[in-house]
Amino acid sequence: MGRYHLLVLGALACGAPGPTRVPTTVAPWLRADPRRCLIRRDLSEGMEIMARRCAEEFVRENGYTDAPAGKDSTRHVLERGEPGPLDQALEARAGSLERSASAVQCSVRKCFVVFRLRRPVLSCALRVITMTQVFTRIQVEPGAIRDIHCGERRA
């Protein structure tokens, strides 16, 4: 085995998961699209893991979790059906979703990332975030999905 192979094997064995935050230096044309994931891709992780990280960053930045919305207002978006203005939309959605995704599924063209709603009345409901397979066009799909198995006991 050559030096290169040992170096690669060593890096894979000791490598940590990719960064979870957006890099500090990003090309302006990339940053201009608020529905584009800016997290650097770790090619050793699967598409679903990257989609999860992108969706979790998107819902955090856009104020859906119990954490404050991101300070970079150029990353904030109005979703379909939200009347605006943006500051009122951010306030209305605050704390509505869990910070961590519940499920992820990617196909050849699209990824679907599911989050549980945090509001007590809707605790058995889910929201879906979709994006392309290259982690662009990220959006929260309108409406909630009811989890019909939510209240069931599990052994």
Q: What is the pLDDT of residues 124-142, one digit of tens each?
A: 889 999 999 999 999 999 9
| 10 within a domain of the structure (yes/no) | no
**Is residue 79 within 8 Å of residue 139, measured between CB atoms?**
yes
Which residue range forms the structural domain that includes residue 61? 19-146
| 39 within a domain of the structure (yes/no) | yes
According to the model, what pLDDT value does residue 24 have? 66
| Strands 125-132 vs 103-106: parallel, antiparallel or unpaired | unpaired
**Is residue 129 within 8 Å of residue 115, measured between CB atoms?**
yes
| 84 within a domain of the structure (yes/no) | yes
CA angle 57, 63, 66 (to 5 degrees): 95
**Residue spans of alpha helices (H) in the chain:** 3-14, 28-31, 47-61, 86-93
CATH number at residue 103: 3.10.450
pLDDT tens digits, residue range 33-76?
999 999 999 999 999 999 999 999 999 999 999 999 999 999 99
How many domains is the chain built from? 1
According to the model, what pLDDT value does residue 155 have? 52
State percent of the chain over pLDDT 70.
79
State percent of the chain over pLDDT 90.
59
| 11 within a domain of the structure (yes/no) | no
In order of 35, 89, 103, 105, the CA distances from 83 in angstroms are: 19, 8, 29, 30
pLDDT tens digits, residue range 77-86?
999 888 889 9
In order of 72, 104, 113, 123, the CA distances from 94 in angstroms are: 16, 22, 19, 15
| 3 within a domain of the structure (yes/no) | no
According to the model, what pLDDT value does residue 18 have? 44
pTM of the predicted model as reported, rounded to 2 decimal places: 0.79
SS3 state of residue 115: strand
Question: Within 10 A of 86 (CB to CB), how many other CB atoms are there?
Answer: 15
| 155 within a domain of the structure (yes/no) | no
